[in-house]
Chains A and B, each alone.
Chain A
Amino acid sequence: MNLLNFLSDAIALFFMWLFIRAARHKLQTDNAEYYQQTFADYGVTQTKLASALRYTLGSLELVIAVALIFDGSRTSASIVAALLLSAYLIGMTIQLIQGKRDISCGCSGPNSHIKVSWSLIIRNALLVPLVLTCTMPSAGFASSLWFAVLMTGAFLILTYSCIENLIANAQKISILRTN
């Protein structure tokens, strides 16, 4: 066991939380209208296609979340996760290059109010190599390690949530400044 194996477990735990949360947002029927609008902003204007995409992405995220936990499927799950995160990254970058800054990123459900921005691009760009760390084999969740793995995972979740709040706050501050 080395540090990378230990990190693989902790990071897998973090991404499991991240993808379950993302999947829950997408699969909730209450959020259908929000994601329809978000997909329309990203260029998917057909309602049926947007609905199918919402279910497909939600289900894929759920599968990734579960697959990341098991040692046997973790490597492939982390590669699929990296591809999915890269696709989101490319999608947001295209919108920004086209000058569309007033659209919701669609990352954390309808209550987050986070718009597409360069800080989000940087965040997602950091998530891609992070999820690839999970291609390393698990340390095995040995009883002597489970506490440290859980704590590291919780620390990553809290740090990510803080960064998300800070990005949302920064966007609100910039609106006040421009007004």
Chain B
Amino acid sequence: MDFITVSNSVLWIIVILQSIVIFALTRQVGVLFERVAPAGALAMNQTLKVGEPAPNLSLQTLASTLVDVGGKSKTNKSQLVFFVSPDCPVCKSLLPALKSAAKSESAWIDLILASDGKTQDHAGFVKQYGLSNYPYIVSELLGKSYGVAKLPYAVVIDELGNVASMGIINSREHLDSLFEAKERKIASIQDFMQGQQAEEQFVEVK
């Protein structure tokens, strides 16, 4: 066998091997779409339960106005109570997504920012991140009443004052999952996915 024949054969084998690798990759991307379920906010809370009335509190904001958190809405809109802290890096990185979501969903939901600690720490935070358009409550009572243990945490309260969905928020996707959970009238996206898996298993058994 001359050099050209050997060289051509080796090159062909390389081309085919690389094509197999590319094919496997495209297949794996497709399998990932099937297997990886949309990640939803982790709905862990010892105090609140989805579907039950949210604690109704009337609290003062940083701008010295009174805001009703929970209770039946006077404007027939839901409330998104978003718990943040100036010391929480994830909270800061989420703020642009939160503002964007609050703007796009403003027709049916009002954003309320909540935190605790010293008031003066929050004033700079509000100014730095342009949060003055939203009610910002600094209240330890609010966090305790809503059973918030980890930040960033969000609770969606429906227009009747019931907890519609809640969870730890680490991304825009988690935030959207709360809206999706409310819309689908389910406790969380995890519950929805588990329900779907159970249904699929049932079909397979049948």
Contact = CB atoms under 8 A, between A and B. Distances in A.
Interface of A: 147-148, 151, 154-155, 158-159, 161-162, 165-166, 168-169, 172
B9 A168 contact: no
B19 A165 contact: no
Interface stretch (B20-28, B62-70, B94-102, B127-135): B20-28
Interface string B29-51: 11001000000000000000000
Interface residues of B, number: 15
Contacts of A161: 23, 26
- Interface hub of B9, B15, B23 (most chain A Cβ within 10 A): B23
Chain A at the B interface: SS class: helix
A147 B30 CA distance: 32
Given A147-B9, A151-B12, A169 B29 contact: yes
Given A165-B29, A168-B30, A172-B33, A147 B23 contact: no
A171 to B, nearest CB: 10
Contacts of B33: 169, 172
B8 interface: yes
Contacts of B23: 158, 161-162, 165
A165 B26 CA distance: 6
B16 interface: yes
Given A147-B9, A169-B33, A172-B33, A154 B26 contact: no
Contacts of B9: 147
A162 B22 contact: yes
Contacts of A147: 9, 12
B26 A159 contact: no
A159 B16 CA distance: 10
Contacts of B20: 158
Interface in B83-111: none
Contacts of A165: 23, 26-27, 29-30
6 nearest A-B pairs in the assembled complex, by CB-CB distance: A165-B26, A158-B19, A151-B12, A172-B33, A162-B26, A162-B23
Contacts of B19: 154-155, 158-159, 162
A154 B29 contact: no
Contacts of B26: 161-162, 165-166, 169
Contacts of A172: 30, 33
Given A151-B16, A168-B30, A169-B26, 14 more contacts: A147-B9, A148-B12, A151-B12, A151-B13, A155-B15, A158-B20, A161-B26, A165-B26, A165-B27, A165-B29, A165-B30, A169-B29, A169-B33, A172-B33
A154 B19 CA distance: 9
